[in-house]
Structure 1
Amino acid sequence: MAKRNNNILNIHEALQDFVETNKLEKGLDKVNVREAWTDLMGNGVNNYTTAIELKNDTLFVQLSSSVLREELSYGKEKIITMLNEALGKTLVKKLVLR
């Protein structure tokens, strides 16, 4: 059984410690990237988005519209920059549109 830590922590520090102790950061990053994509891209793109997956530093986005895929491919760098700014850290270095 783990020792009890008698130091007083605020809830943010306690949750951050829990995430680090249990190595949950990668899973949370995957969820946060999905949320950032849906927030930033809006309903028009989200209606055609079928899958979003983060593997290492590459974001794979599956789209059901080839026209939209081609249109978004022109702005990949801007999309990557917007996602990383929304996340507050550099998680996405490459964007693959399928």
Structure 2
Amino acid sequence: MSDQHHQSDLKKALEAMLDHYKLRGKYTQARVRQLWPKLMGPAINKYTTEVKVYRKNLYVTLSSAALRQELSMGTERIRDLINEELGEEYLEKVVIR
């Protein structure tokens, strides 16, 4: 058997486990929180004080008012970037506070 076949089997098994134990939502929320610093970069992450996902909405708290204002204008783009990285349309809204 090839490595690709084993990876496919493992992926299916993990997805089945996430569904069986109803953990898919929590898993996706954790992935969203991990993606924030990767996609936004160190400059924005430096001013990020909290990243929270609640009911398919991403809430980001920033310590810089100027950065908060600037990112508030691009919330749809941020949502699309994260959803694209996830490979699914998970986030419905991004709220910058």
TM-score using structure 2 length: 0.87
Q: What are the residue-to-residue correspondences of 1:78-89 with 2, within 5 Å?
A: 78-89=77-88
Matched residue SS, 1:34: helix
Distance in 1, Cα, partners of 2:63 & 2:41: 16
Alignment: residue pair count: 90
Distance in 1, Cα, partners of 2:14 & 2:63: 37
Q: Pairwise CA RMSD of aligned residues? A: 1.2
Q: What are the residue-to-residue correspondences of 1:8-19 with 2, within 5 Å?
A: 10-19=9-18
Partner of 1:52: 51
AA aligned to 1:10 is D
Q: Deviations over 1:66-90 (max 9, x none)?
A: 1100010111111111111011111
For the pair shown, which has the larger CA radius of gyration, 1 or 2?
1
Distance in 2, Cα, partners of 1:76 & 1:13: 33
Structure with greater proportional helix content: 2
AA aligned to 2:36 is W
Task: Give the C-alpha shift of residue 54 in structure 1.
Answer: 0.8
**Percent identity for Structure 1 against Structure 2:** 38
Distance in 1, Cα, partners of 2:56 & 2:80: 13
Task: Give the C-alpha shift of residue 57 in structure 1.
Answer: 1.8
Structure 1 residue ranges (4+ consecutive) displaced by more than 6 angstroms after TM superposition? none
Q: Deviations over 1:5-64 (max 9, x none)?
A: xxxx82112111111110111110111101111110000000011111111121100111
Partner of 2:66: 67
